[in-house]
Structures are given as C-alpha cells and as structure tokens.
Chain A
Amino acid sequence: MAEVGAEIERIGPAEVEDVELYHAKSWITKYVFSQDAKVIAIQYSATAIAIGMVALVLSWLMRLQLGFPESFDFIEAQDYYQFITMHGMIMVVYLLTALFLGGFGNYLIPLMVGARDMVFPYVNMLSYWIYLLAVLVLVASFFVPGGPTGAGWTLYPPQAILTGTPGAGAGIVLMLVSLALFIIGFTMGGLNYVTTVLQARTRGMTLMRMPLTVWGIFTATVLALLAFPALFVGAVMMTLDSVLGTSFFMPTIVSQGELLKHDGGSPILFQHLFWFFGHPEVYIVALPAFGIVSDLISVHARRHIFGYRMMVWAIVIIGALSFVVWAHHMYVSGMNPYFGFFFATTTLIIAVPTAIKVYNWTLTLWRANINFTLPMLFALAFIVTFVNGGITGLFLGNVVVDVPLSDTMFVVAHFHMVMGVAPILVIFGAIYHWYPLMTGRMLNEAMGQFHFWVTFLGAYMIFLPIHYLGFLGVPRRYFEMGTTSFIPESAHTLNEFITVVALIVGVAQLVFFYNVVWSMIKGKKAGHNPWKATTLEWQTEEVPPGHGNFGRELPVVYRWAYDYGVPGAEDDFVPQNHPPKRAPARAAE
C-alpha cells in the first residue's frame, strides 16, 4: 500500500489560508443564529435527539399495547396507528438523517478535510432553522383535531387521506408540509456538505486520503440530494389530492359506501415515488454509519483500516446500486410481477459490496492491537447487529422469499436491526469517541459500560425473537391479534418479555443522558488527542476547536488517515499532517 502512504514525499510549504469568516459579534450570533458548522452541528444533534425522545416514548406505548393488549384504556386502535406512524417517520427522517448528516456531517466534514468551515455558512445556518421549523410543524400535528396521521410511516394513499385513517384531515397535511420543509432545509445543508468536500479540502487531502467517515457522509449526502426530490414531489402531489381534490394517487373509490369525486389516479405511483426515496434513505443512514464505524475500529484497534480503496469503492457502489433496488419494497404491491426478477437480482448484488465492508472491518481487527474502549465496544456491537440485520435482508430481497414474510413482524425485526439498532450503536460509539473533542472532557467509563451492555444485549434480545414471530405469520401494524388460530399462547408470552426488555433498554438511556451532562462538568480532562488518532480534527490548536477550526495556518496533509502501526515510526500512529522524514531535506534543496 505504498501508493497511499508515501506517494507524496514532498509538499510545498503551507500557505496561510486567510479565509474570511463571519465572526460572531454577539452572544446571539455565536450560539443561536450561528454560522459556525460546529455550533450548527450541536443544534442539529440536540433537536434530533429531542424529537427522537418523543419517538422513544411512542415506542414504549406501542410495546405496552403489544405486550399487554386490552390493559390500557388510553391506547385505542387509532392511537396505536398514530404511534407507529410517528415513531417510524421521526426515527428515520427527523432523528437518523438529521443526526448523521446535519449533526456529524456539520461537525466532522470541515474538521476532517482541513477546512475552516462549510463553504456557505449562512445557508448552513438557514438549513438548521428550516429543519427546526419542520420539526415544530411535525409536533404541531399532535395537537390538531384528529391528531397526527396514522397512515403508517409509508403514508400510502388512498388510505392516508381518507376517513377511516386517523389524522386524515389536518394530520396528514401537516406531515406532508413538514416533510417538504425538511427536504428544503436538508438541501441547503446537503449542497454545503458536498461542495465543502469537493472544494474546500486542505492541501494534500486528496479524495483517496479522506477518512472513511467523510466518504460515508459525502456519499450519503449525494444520495439524499438525488432521492429526497422524489419524496418532495410525492408530498406535494398528495397534498393536492387531499386539499384540492386532484387525483394523482386516487382512482375511482367507493369509501364507506360513498362514491368519491376522484378518478383515474394510481396508488402505486406514490409507492414508486416513496421508495425511490425510501430505499436510498436506508443508505443515507447506513453509509455515514459505515464510514464512522470504520474510523472507530481503526483508531481503537490501533491498526489501519483493511482494504481502504475497496472500502471507498464499496461505499460508492452501494450508493449507486441503491437507486435501482427500490421496488423490492413492492414485491407484493400489485405492480407487474415480472419486475421481481430485476429487483431481486439488483438487491442481492448489493450484498456483495456490503459483505466486503463487513469482512474488511473484521480483518482490521486481525493482527491488530485492540483497545476495548467504549467506542470500540459499540463498533463491535454494530458489526453483530448489522450483519444480523443484513442477512435477513437477503431473505426479504429474494422476491419469492419475501412473499410470505412481507408485512410480517419479520420485516419489523429486519429493519430495526439493520437501520435502527446498528446505526444507533454507531451514533453512541461516535459520541463516546468525539465527546472529548466537543467538550474537552471524557465521558464516564463506568456509566458508559453499563449503558453499552444493557443497550447492546437488550436491543438484541428485543429484535432477535421478533423475527420468529414473523416466521409464524404475525402481521405488523396490528393493534391487537385478537383470536387468531395459528398464533399460540407462547407468542403472547414472548411479546410480554419483549415489552419488558424494551422498557428496560429505554430507561437505561437515561444513564447515557446523565453521563453526557455530568461529564461536561466533572468528566476527566481529555487534553489533546486522547485516542491518539491520526485524523485532522484531533490536530487542532484548541480543544474544543474554535471558530475557524485550525490556528493561523491550515494543516497540510501528507498521508492517508490510517497510519497506525507503521513499521519504523516513532509512535504507533502518524497524524495525517505529520510530514514525512525526508521532506525537510528535500525542502532544503
């Protein structure tokens, strides 16, 4: 791998980059209407986690109903369907997408590529405020007559806008408006992330020297910029169907005995638009997680990532393929069944680059020198849950296998494991990893260990058994099973068990939040580069880095991000901005 490590033996002296940034003049412009990507990152993260807590509470309510049906008077069928809808949409869009791209993207991209800030700081600020508005509109839907929409997070018409579905009036319209706002806000941020990666990298930071975190977030952002417009038009069209009575998605319908005025629309058209966004969305969440976890593993295993170039290409190939697999969500939708041949093939092909990533993570551990820090533990837990969720994707992607499993609890177990549990474990790992940079203090180890074990084993115990309920034929999105001949009593007992574990895991998160607050004041001082990492964000003058990120001069990059355990090197890691030994001699020529 000499090509990556030492190809550049000499780089000219660093020039002072005198970038004009808007320096905040007041408290308001520094902490509220801030144009500093790091502050925006924390605003995005805090908002995403706050709305995520709403989704967490909704999941408890759902689990209470599933574990102990007919025990809670305050959960009616319509409430339950509202819970599942809002839980799903919040988790996928308002928490995971916002946290990975708006949160980690904003914090890490400029620091890791050696830039002073995002290239359009003002637009970046607007991005956050529009996101916040989208969240507020979403929250408002809880308080309108009829409540939020209960159409399922997929919002399939005609159901979503017809009576018979909770929130079919104001609820669904607010949901669609909120999504449209989210997409507008995201586009502002997304253009920033992409432009910054392409245009603002420091000297020597070639694309093939970027940390995989940046590759993951960058590729995910490109996907999001291409995928979200499909959802946007879908949302606009459904809003028109609902408010103005157009018929984009509405055929001739007799609803509750009454002939409606709609005519000639196609419900399946919406599904195509939704999943053209929805499948890339899975990778919008997964690719940043892939990137971040690669870096966590490498840093804490004290070894270079194995097969870096393959890892980069795998991210890019997965991203490209994710646009030609969407209809695997629609095998039993009533679309032309012959599409199944095409989409099953493309879907299973994605398994190959994905498997390569898993191999390379585990091969990074091979012959490494592993520190079992909290970020490392979360990274290992990610691999376990991601592989588990990934292989069940091979069931659901293989069209004929999907037929009996679709819309069962197996699907619920699959996507929670692969795009719920696995990315969230990465988020936790990433917070334990970068918290010292953001605050200058370490998170408490004992609380972290408790949080890790309860979360990892608990989440696994929740979702592994749910697959088996799916095999049995238990449908998802059922308020209650009632008497169903093929469901044995033991399945109800299992549901009770899952609910109890879910509540425990949920409550254990409070320890994490307590740790985050407690450590900010009382945590051990982190100092510079506590993990001995090579990437640029750890090489700043100040910790936490100030506005403008680096000191007077931007760092110059001489090597890839993974020089750990380099033979003959002084230390077991060589930072990216560390010049090669021969450089001074050459420079003197």
Chain B
Amino acid sequence: MIVVGLVLVAVGTVLFHLLSPWWWTPIASNWGYIDDTIVLTFWITGTVFIAVILFMAYCALRYKHRAGVRSEYRPENKNLEWWLTIVTTVGVAGMLIPGLFVWNQFVTVPAEATEIEVMAKQWSWSFRKPGKDGKLGTTNVRLVNADNPFGIDPKDPNGQDDVLVDGDNLHLPLNKPIKVLLRSLDVLHDFYVPQFRAKMDMVPGAVTYFWFTPTRTGTFDILCFELCGVGHHAMRSQVVVEAQTAYDNWLNQQMTFKKALAAVEKRAAENKQLASRKAAADIVATIAAD
C-alpha cells in the first residue's frame, strides 16, 4: 500500500508538472537569466526529489518486515557518506554560482539607465520622471500636501521640469534600461509587474531601487506585493510599454511640476479674490441686518 502510495506521489507530481497549464507568465524584460536559473534549479532539485521517493519506495518493497530476518548492522559507511556530501555540495554549487552571477547583474545598474520614480501610498501609485535636464528634483516627506503630492522641494531647480503622473498609467519606452527609484509615504509597499520579474520593497524614509529593460510592448498589471493594509489587494495600476514615438507623444502631454505649481498659485489667487468678495458681501449683509 505505501509502496503504491509513494510511487503514486512521484508519478503524480511529474504528471501534474507536465499537464499543468500554470507556469511562468511570459516574460517582457531582460531578466531571462532569472528564468534560466529557475529552470536549472527546477531540474536539479526535481530529479533529487523523484530519486529520493523512488528509493524509499524500493526500500519499502524490498525490505518489508519478514519474520526471522534481521536488518543489516552497519552503523556507518564513511565512503558513502563522503561521496554523498561531495555530490550534494557540487549540486548546490551548480545552482548557487549561476545564481550569484545573475545577481551581480541585478545589482549592477547600467550607466545609461534612465531614472524614474515610483511613489506609493495607501493604496495608490504615482510616477515621476525627470524633465529635459535628466535629473529628478529632491523631495521631502514633510513637504507633501494636496498641492504637492510628491513633496518636491520647490526651491530645487532640478525639480521644476519633473514630469508628474498621478492617477494615470505609467508609460515606458521599449528596450531602454530603466532604473526604478522607489519611495513610500506611509507603509511598506512593493512594486511588481510579473512580466518584468524584478521587484523591490518600497520603504518609508528610504529610497530603494532596481533596474530592468522592457523588451516587449504591451500593457501589464502593476500589483503591490508587500502587505500594506486593507486595500492591499486593490492597489493596482498598469504599465504601458510602447515604441519611442508613441512614448514621446504621451510624455509631452503630461503635467510638469512647474505647471502644477503655477496652476496651484492661480487657483490660490482666485480663491483669495473670491474670499475677499465673500467677506465684503458678508459685511454688507451684516449691516443690512442691523
């Protein structure tokens, strides 16, 4: 019975893998090496797993209890133990070394990468890109308010031409390496697009980053991948990867920080005017009531 059970588990696992319609969502970034490392790990470990189960099934079949029979008394076998240790070490190194090699690429951001910023708060995403100067303006959480949701320092000239995308999808040009700077206003979040394979937590009080190159046009879901409160599952946006010309068109339509500030000032001036008119009307009303 247990022999059948063990064989069933081994065969069932292999069949499940072969027949499963669920596998990696097709990749849309340069991180194919990550997928390769996973496939390598999968085959090495999968083989060991099946081999262990089948060996146990064999023992269960061959060495089932028989009356009058004794088990072999041989508490140690130095040779065998050393061989198994060495083979295992080689197998582990065979997974670790390629893994570290790819990790080295992951932490080495190419010099030509364009910086963009993704900012998270409960439970929405916003994005910021440098203007023509190629530099993002400095920010400070204490400057965040309804008129300056990113908390950009208005005195920093680099920030004036920053492109702000609040409440819209993120657009990215195809085949250009991107360094994503990550910021959070409140709690931990995590920016992840499954097709890109790369993710990183966003930590309030710090700026984190990762890099990737989009390699396929399309619209992909952005999900928050670090539990961030009751709205966690609904914290969504999308990223549109498109050719350079389409991207440039989109970029030109976006609001810059300078324009946003101007709009705020204009509105403030109007409000002031309105307020003084209202005050005058109030005085008139008061006098009339007397």
Measuring CB to CB, which residues of chain A are less than 8 angstroms from any residue of chain B? Answer: 1, 4-5, 77-78, 81, 150-152, 156, 158-159, 162, 164-166, 251-257, 259, 264-268, 301-310, 332-334, 337-338, 340-341, 344-345, 348-349, 351-352, 355-356, 358-360, 362-363, 365-372, 377, 380, 383-384, 387-388, 391-392, 394-395, 398-401, 403-408, 453, 456-457, 460, 464-465, 468-469, 471-473, 475, 477-482, 484-486, 488, 490-491, 494, 562, 564-567, 572
Given contacts A166-B230, A369-B63, contact A159 B187 (CB under 8 A): yes
The answer to whether A387 and B225 have CB atoms under 8 Å apart is no
Q: Out of B106, B194, B206, which one reaches A486, CB within 8 Å?
A: B194
Q: How far is the CA of A450 from the CA of B289 in the complex (A)?
A: 89
Q: In the bound complex, do residue B225 and residue A475 qualify as a contact, i.e. CB atoms below 8 Å apart?
A: yes
The answer to whether B92 and A477 have CB atoms under 8 Å apart is no
CA separation between A359 and B34, bound complex, in Å? 30
Contact stretch, chosen from B53-61, B155-163, B166-174, B265-273 = B53-61
Give A60 Cβ to nearest chain B Cβ, in Å.
20
| Residue ranges of B at the interface with A (Cβ–Cβ < 8 Å) | 1-2, 5-6, 8-9, 13, 16, 20-25, 31, 33-34, 37-38, 41-42, 45-46, 48-49, 52-53, 55-56, 59-60, 63-66, 69-77, 80-81, 84-85, 88-89, 92, 95-96, 99-100, 102-104, 106-107, 121-122, 141-142, 144, 146, 151, 182, 185-188, 190, 192, 194-195, 197-206, 208, 219-221, 223, 225-234, 236
A334 touches which of B42, B76, B203, B231 (Cβ 8 Å): B203
Question: B20 touches which one: A253, A398, A468 (CB < 8 A)?
Answer: A468
CB pair B63 A253 closer than 8 Å? no
Would A472 and B99 count as touching, CB distance under 8 A? no
- CB of A359 within 8 A of CB of B84, answer yes
A362 to chain B, nearest CB (A): 6
- Measured CA separation A388–B56 after assembly (Å): 14
Given A267-B204, A334-B203, A456-B5; A344-B22 close (CB under 8 Å): no
Does the CB pair A457–B22 fall under 8 Å?
no
- Tell me how far the C-beta of A157 lies from the nearest C-beta in chain B, rounded to whole angstroms: 8
Q: Which residues of A contact B59 (CB under 8 A)?
A: 362, 365-366, 368, 370
Contacts known (A334-B200, A394-B92, A403-B198); A473 close to B41, Cβ less than 8 A: no
**Chain B residues near A304 (CB-CB < 8 A):** 71, 73, 75
Residues of A contacting B190 in the complex (Cβ-Cβ under 8 angstroms): 332, 407
What B residues does A367 contact at CB under 8 A? 63, 71-72, 74
A residues near B71, Cβ cutoff 8 Å: 301-304, 367-369, 564-565, 572
Q: What is the distance, in angstroms, from A408's C-beta to the closest C-beta of chain B?
A: 8
Q: How far is the CA of A488 from the CA of B22 in the complex (A)?
A: 9
Q: Bound complex: CA of A550 vs CA of B13, how far in Å?
A: 48
How far, in whole Å, are A484 and B34 apart by their CA atoms in the complex? 23
Q: Is the CB of B49 within 8 A of A267?
A: no
18 contacts between A and B (CB under 8 A): A1-B75, A156-B188, A156-B227, A158-B186, A264-B205, A302-B71, A369-B65, A369-B71, A372-B60, A391-B46, A398-B96, A401-B37, A401-B99, A403-B34, A460-B9, A473-B194, A484-B221, A486-B194
Which of A308, A465, A478 has a CB less than 8 Å from the CB of B233?
A478
Question: What number of A-B contacts does a CB cutoff of 8 Å give?
Answer: 330
Q: How far is the CA of A408 from the CA of B227 in the complex (A)?
A: 11
